Amino acid sequence: MKEKSIVATATFVTSLLSYLYAREAQKDAVPYVMVGGFLGALIGEGLAEIIRNNNINDKQGNDGNRNI
So what's the pLDDT on residue 62? Answer: 63
So what's the pLDDT on residue 55? Answer: 86
CB 17 within 8 A of CB 36: yes
Q: What is 1-68 written as a DSSP string?
A: --HHHHHHHHHHHHHHHHHHHHHHTT--HHHHHHHHHHHHHHHHHHHHHHHHHHHHHHHTT--S----
Q: Tell me: the pLDDT tens digits for 29-44?
A: 999 999 999 999 999 9
Cα 27 from Cα 21, distance rounded (Å): 9
Q: Tell me: the pLDDT tens digits for 6-62?
A: 999 999 999 999 999 999 999 999 999 999 999 999 999 999 999 999 888 888 876
